[in-house]
Structure 1
Amino acid sequence: MVTLYRPGEGPWYRLPTGWKTALLLVVVLAVCLLPPTWWAAGAMAAVCVACYAVPGIGLRELVRQAWAARWIVAVTLAGQLIFLDPEHAVANAARVTTAITLAGLLTLTTPATELLDTVERAMRPLARLGLDPQRAALTLSVTLSTLPVLARLARDVREAQLARGGGRSLRHFAMPFLVMVLKHADELGDALAVRGVR
């Protein structure tokens, strides 16, 4: 879902990490404040297109990011349709899609180390309140590295399922995927414990 850094050139790559992070955060917050209407959903789509339709990125990458998040968007939309009318449901799903694709744009154009350094620097003033900036940056690092791993595990389980003639049964997919996720979590926990992280 969240794609890690890919080297490239263009305005998003040249923008300093702090400014880029702040700009995208402001855009996501502004999108969240839009009313849940059809025109707002269209405006959110236009924001995504504008952010990706620059040299060095392109709309093909936007489609790829949105496709990677399709299940999250589908579950969000289905859940919203149970309780809300279609206009509100579509607008809320568009918000989620916009947030995911803009987060993807940030990680796509920013090396993880630069992003983590920026987060750590931004959180230093909160150390007075008891927040550990290094631990917060480590949490973000683990999250960013885990999402692509989970996507790869899901793909591996699905390919193995299809190779065995298991079809596309969710029931047959869920158990092996859960076992692999728990195994990965165990290995990650052991690796962090060895490095003294509790």
Structure 2
Amino acid sequence: MISLTSPVRTRAHGWPAGIKLAALAVATFALFLIHDLWIMAAAFAASLGLYALPGWRFFRAGMERLKVLWPFLAILGVWHVVTATYDEGAEILLRLLTTVGLANLVTMTTALSDMIAVIRWLATPLRRVGLNTRAMELAIALVIRILPTLIDNGQRLSDACRARSPRRPGWRVVVPFTLLALDDAEHLADALRARGGFLENKET
């Protein structure tokens, strides 16, 4: 999952989060069972159609968030060209785009609090045997929340590098990006400790 809730209101925003997450799980499982390139291409086209249904603004926002996949797609594409496994490579690339695209659709049309509520309900049996599930719930929420911020930070670093040099940023932004991510993580950890960390509220 990549993006936060879309500002463009769609019909899917009103659907129960549990149903959307269950449908996503079933679709993802089914996509990994499919090994026909044409069916995979049709599934990818269908996912693009789902992005297009709410209108151009929603479609553009969704595609913008999926840009983070391009480095992985490029690496996979080069590998399968070098190894001459073109059909297998196309199948893997289409599966990756479709599964991540569908997951992105769910986060764009579902409030984070609703998804956490579903996860908390699914973790009820673990709490009954004495396990603290708050850390898991919070970790999932943080991943969904922080990933877009990390992407934006990386884009700003790349833009700053281009403004100072005609060369492509490439690997030059890896170290400052890593340091920036660690700094953000440290501030986040301090904020969590200030609010009690992962301790369960004894009154609930």
| 8 Å contact kept, 2:2–2:107 | yes
Equivalent in the alignment of 2:31: 31
Distance 1:148 1:60, change over 3 A: closer
Q: Greater RCO between the two (CA within 8 Å, min separation 6)?
A: 2
Equivalent in the alignment of 2:139: 139
Q: Greater CA deviation, 160-169 or 73-82?
A: 73-82
Distance 1:69 1:171, change over 3 A: closer
Q: Greater CA deviation, 184-193 or 140-149?
A: 184-193
User: Does residue 1:185 correspond to 2:185, yes or no?
Assistant: yes
Offset at 1:131? Answer: 4.7
Distance 1:13 1:175, change over 3 A: same
| 8 Å contact kept, 1:4–1:107 | yes
Q: Greater CA deviation, 180-189 or 163-172?
A: 163-172
Q: Secondary structure, in 3 states, of the residue corresponding to 1:69?
A: helix
Equivalent in the alignment of 1:96: 96
Q: Secondary structure, in 3 states, of the residue corresponding to 1:18?
A: helix
Alignment TM-score, normalising by the size of structure 1? 0.85
Tell me how far apart the structure 2 counterparts of residues 137 and 27 of structure 1 sit (CA, whole Å): 23
Tell me how far apart the structure 2 counterparts of residues 18 and 104 of structure 1 sit (CA, whole Å): 15
Equivalent in the alignment of 1:47: 46
| 8 Å contact kept, 1:48–1:62 | no
Paired residue type of 2:122? A
Offset at 1:145? Answer: 1.2
State percent identity of aligned pairs.
26
Q: Secondary structure, in 3 states, of the residue corresponding to 2:167?
A: coil
Paired residue type of 1:73? L
Tell me how far apart the structure 1 counterparts of residues 84 and 32 of structure 2 sit (CA, whole Å): 17
Offset at 1:108? Answer: 0.6
Equivalent in the alignment of 1:18: 18
Distance 1:132 1:157, change over 3 A: same
Distance 1:144 1:58, change over 3 A: closer
Tell me how far apart the structure 2 counterparts of residues 121 and 106 of structure 1 sit (CA, whole Å): 18
| 8 Å contact kept, 2:154–2:177 | yes
| 8 Å contact kept, 2:6–2:58 | no
Equivalent in the alignment of 1:107: 107
Q: Greater CA deviation, 61-70 or 76-85?
A: 76-85
Paired residue type of 1:43? A
Gaps of 5+ in 2: 199-204
Equivalent in the alignment of 1:157: 157
Q: Secondary structure, in 3 states, of the residue corresponding to 1:30?
A: helix
Gaps of 5+ in 1: none
The residue correspondences of 1:53-72 to structure 2 (distance < 5 A) are 53-55=52-54, 59-72=59-72
| 8 Å contact kept, 1:166–1:172 | no
Distance 1:59 1:156, change over 3 A: closer
Equivalent in the alignment of 2:87: 87
Q: Greater CA deviation, 75-84 or 14-23?
A: 75-84
Alignment TM-score, normalising by the size of structure 2? 0.83
